[in-house]
Amino acid sequence: MSQAIFFAHANGFPSATYSPLFAALAPEYQVNYLAQHGHDRRFPVNANWHSLVEELIHHLQDRVQQSGEPVWGVGHSLGGLLHYHAALLQPQLYRGVVMLDSPVLTTLDQVVLRAAKRFGFIDHLTPAGRTLGRREEFSDSQEAHRYFAGKSLFRGFHPDCLNAYIEHGLHEVDGRLRLRFDPATEISIYRNVPHTSPGQPQHLQVPLAIVRGEQSRVVLPHMSRKVRRAAVGETFTLPGGHMFPLEQPDTTALLLKKLLTRWAQTAQHKESA
């Protein structure tokens, strides 16, 4: 019987972009997800992502109520941090949390972010500044593929992941292809990146792991050290940069399978002891 993973995507990348990763996790794991975070009018993007966390918890509660079992929370960047905050608030929904290149901020990091928001230079600390004015429309999928394949962010993507982004990250509007993820929402998410947290890793009641890309400039060594303060806190590194789950989907899936299997076995041993 497959186990349930609830996946949460990175900002700007609809969940179906990760379909090669989900396929590599099957059949042992069934992956559930929201198509796009931040696009439900009931949960508009707000300060410190409070509504985004509420949105995730809302859907997790529905999922857990239907299945009767908590989930493995796996998230990339934005998604990992949402799972981390949700697990601090509602640990009964989770078996464990894996953050794929998601930053766990120290007090100093939070102070810097708060100052950046207050004094108006947050766009220089997040990708918001690079998102402003980005191209949003294309004549067809071939043009879109050529465009994104030439961008540094996408250059290392696995071909199947790039194809999945073209298929699921764009949609037809008036005969042309436009970005499916609303650019204004994407920018708002960056500008409201949390400088607060509902708790610290040592407060978590479920296992926590952070996996960083070897060339990532998002997750820094001091953040990895903070994760180890959790009762069960582990850190790993995989080849690639911040987008490694879309660059190395098979390698990412293999690590997740090994980690979640070990955590499940440890939990079973504790229950039977």
Q: CA torsion, points 256, 257, 260, 262, in degrees to nearest 10?
A: -120
Copy the structure tokens of residue 28.
């042992």
Copy the structure tokens of residue 72.
């493995």
**Mind listing the pLDDT tens digit for each residue in 29-69?**
999 999 999 999 999 999 999 999 999 999 999 999 999 99
**Mind listing the pLDDT tens digit for each residue in 211-256?**
999 999 999 888 888 998 999 999 999 999 999 999 999 999 999 9
SS3 state of residue 13: coil
Q: Cα separation of 171 and 178, whole Å? A: 6
pLDDT of residue 247: 98
pLDDT of residue 154: 95
Copy the structure tokens of residue 226.
């903070």
Domain that holds residue 16: 3-272
pLDDT of residue 131: 80
Confidence of residue 273 (pLDDT cuts 50, 70, 90): low
Cβ-contact 77, 52 below 8 angstroms = no
pLDDT of residue 244: 98
pLDDT of residue 1: 64
Confidence of residue 167 (pLDDT cuts 50, 70, 90): very high
174 CB neighbour count, 10 Å cutoff? 6
Copy the structure tokens of residue 73.
């929370």
By the 10 Å C-beta count (0-12 exposed, 13-18 middle, 19+ buried), 3 is classed as middle
Confidence of residue 269 (pLDDT cuts 50, 70, 90): confident
CATH code for the domain of 236 = 3.40.50.1820
Mean pLDDT, the chain, rounded, equals 95
Examine the pLDDT at 130 and tell me if it is beyond 90.
no
Copy the structure tokens of residue 49.
């992502």
Q: Cα separation of 270 and 185, whole Å? A: 43
Residues 6+ apart with CB under 8 A from 173: none
Average pLDDT of the residues in 150-177: 96
**Mind listing the pLDDT tens digit for each residue in 192-218?**
999 999 999 999 999 999 999 999 999
Say how many domains are in the chain. 1
Beta-carbon-side half-sphere exposure of residue 236 (alpha carbons within 13 Å): 17
Cβ-contact 16, 9 below 8 angstroms = no
Task: Name the nearest CA neighbour of 11 among 153, 118, 119, 133.
Answer: 153
